[in-house]
Amino acid sequence: MGSSQIMIRIALLSSWFYISSTLDLNIINYHHNGSVERLRSEVEMRWLYEEWMVRFDKSHMDMERERRFEIFKDNLRFIDEHNRPSNNHSYTVGLNGFADLTNEEYQEKYLNKLISVRVNVSLGVGDEYVVVRDKNEELGQLPASVDWRSTGAVGPVIDQGECGSLIALSAQQLVDCEGGFRACVGGHVDSALDYIVKNRGIDTLESYPYKKAIGRCKQNAVIHLTLAAVVSIDSRKSVFSHDEKGLQRAVAGQPVGIAIEAKGRSFQLYKGGIFNGPCGTSIDHAMLLIGYGAENGQDYWLIKNTYGVFWGENGFVRMERNIASRSGRCGITEYSSYYPYRRQGP
């Protein structure tokens, strides 16, 4: 990159906060009643694109740059149409790091079509989390809300990049060491948990940091454990599918691995609020359920994602809870695993 380009980028970066606060990265201004005031000019959209490229450290050659700009503009139109106040959505979408990707590219690069949602016949169902449906008073014993971040049980949000094998564990160790995890082309939550059982533990993010690519498995040749495993599990269990109440009880006890359908454009560009679709039940993305709550009378799940802190609510998404569908929103009750754990280290 030449010195003139560097100076341009510095100038753009210095004005980022002013532009983003005044224009709110939208191409449409609205009156208070939701009516359209005007469309932004091509020049303004170009400026927003250049600012966005600086913020997310993007660079493209000329022809690719223009192609990405057209995709960016199309996503801007989608964002502003969704966020129109008169639409009264419970969540907003915005310009995150996926804003120059088509939805098809996003699905190809960041989702995992190989996730298995079939419960292994040897997988025990946790009876302690099975809810007897005519005993709703049992649910009254649960906290009104749960957020495992407040206890230190949830690690930092990481960015999986284009390595779609992540689940909510020590991801790089799984990518490098779990033979059936298929590197960066997709993995299975079940196989990851089975690996932790077999390995007698899993490392911390600090001792085995994430690299966004497959590497060589780092093992201690003497004790045959990877580095310094600090958490181990003896088994894994599942919550019955199609059971939001059982899932609620499970996550009240500890974080729970889940899988959902995340291929929608709205999820790709999710910014904040309580996500309520559109989405189906074709599972393609694993995440970590870390709690639940309610806002303005609307129940939600609290979920940690692996798209980095600039996606969603600092890397998290709130998803609608207690809906009529047996599969839950986006298939959240189709598959879930939890793993009774014990901490080995200090």
User: What does 218-249 look like in DSSP terms, one character per residue?
Assistant: ---TTT-SSTT--EEES--EEPPTT-HHHHHH
Cite the DSSP H helix spans in the chain.
3-14, 16-23, 42-55, 62-82, 103-110, 171-177, 189-199, 244-253, 265-268
Of 27-41, 56-70, 259-273, which range is least confident?
Answer: 27-41
Average pLDDT, the chain: 75
Is residue 188 predicted with pLDDT exceeding 90? no
Highest mean pLDDT among 30-39, 212-221, 265-274: 265-274
Orientation of helix 42-55 relative to helix 3-14, angle to 10°: 100
Look at residue 304 and tell me if it is in a domain. yes
pLDDT mean over 59-64: 91
If asked whether residues 154 and 283 sit together in one domain, one would say: yes
Residues 246-259, mean pLDDT to the nearest whole number:
91
CA distances (Å), origin 52, targets 9, 12, 158:
11, 9, 20
Q: Determine the average pLDDT of the residues in 77-106.
A: 96
Residues 10 and 138 in one domain: no
- The answer to whether residue 269 sits within a structural domain is yes
Residues 335-342: what's their mean pLDDT?
Answer: 62
Question: Looking at the structure, do residues 277 and 331 belong to the same domain, yes or no?
Answer: yes
Do 150 and 68 share a domain, yes or no?
Answer: no
Residue 216 is predicted with a pLDDT of 75
Q: Is 97 within the bounds of a domain?
A: no
* Whether residue 260 is found in the same domain as residue 162: yes
pLDDT at 86 over 90: yes
Q: Give the CATH number of the domain where residue 261 resides.
A: 3.90.70.10
pLDDT at 101: 98
Position 96 in a domain? no
pLDDT of 117: 45
Task: Please indicate whether residue 219 or residue 39 has the higher confidence score (pLDDT).
Answer: 39
Calculate ∠ Cα 85-86-88, nearest 5°: 75
Q: Of 34, 60, 88, which marks where a domain is finished?
A: 88
End position of a domain, from candidates 88, 114, 137: 88
Select from 106, 39, 100, 104 the least CA-distant residue to 72: 100
Looking at the structure, do residues 67 and 160 belong to the same domain, yes or no?
no
Q: CA angle, 81 as apex, 79 and 87 as ends, to 5°?
A: 115
Residues 81 and 137 both lie in one domain:
no
Q: Quote the domain boundaries for residue 38.
A: 3-88
Give me the residue label for tokens 């045959």. 224
Query: Do 151 and 25 share a structural domain?
Result: no
| CA angle, residues 85, 90, 93, in degrees to nearest 5 | 75
Q: Which residue, among 268, 197, 204, has the nearest Cα to 233 in the 3D structure?
A: 197
d(CA 37, CA 121): 58
**Cα–Cα distance for residue pair 131/167, rounded to 1 Å:** 26
Average pLDDT over residues 251-263: 92
For residue 217, is pLDDT > 70? yes
Distance of CA 25 to the CA centre of its chain: 22
Q: For residue 49, what pLDDT band results from cuts at 50, 70 and 90? A: very high
The first and second tokens of residue 148, run together, are 């495992």
- Mark whether 327 and 244 lie in a shared domain: yes
HSE at residue 156, side-chain half, CA atoms within 13 A, is 10
The domain boundary residue, chosen from 67, 88, 109:
88
| Counted domains in the chain | 2
Taking 70 as the threshold, does the pLDDT of residue 207 lie above it?
no
Q: Is residue 175 part of a domain?
A: no
Let me know if 66 is exposed, middle or buried by CB neighbors in 10 A (0-12, 13-18, 19+): exposed
68 in a structural domain: yes
**d(Cα 318, Cα 275) in Å, to the nearest integer?**
6
Say whether pLDDT at 22 is over 60: no
**CA separation for the pair 93, 177 (Å, rounded):** 36
Q: pLDDT at position 206, please?
A: 62
User: Residue 228 — pLDDT band, cuts 50, 70, 90?
Assistant: very low
Q: CA Rg, the chain, in Å?
A: 22
The pLDDT value recorded for residue 174 is 64
**C-alpha angle 328/233/332, rounded to 5°?**
5
Residue 291 and residue 154 share a domain: yes
Tell me whether residue 181 is in a domain.
no
Q: Output the pLDDT for position 277.
A: 94
Based on the fold, state whether residues 19 and 149 are members of the same structural domain.
Answer: no
Q: Are 307 and 315 in contact (CB under 8 A)?
A: yes
User: Residue 35 — pLDDT band, cuts 50, 70, 90?
Assistant: very low
Is residue 155 located within the same domain as residue 262?
yes
Is 41 a domain residue?
Answer: yes
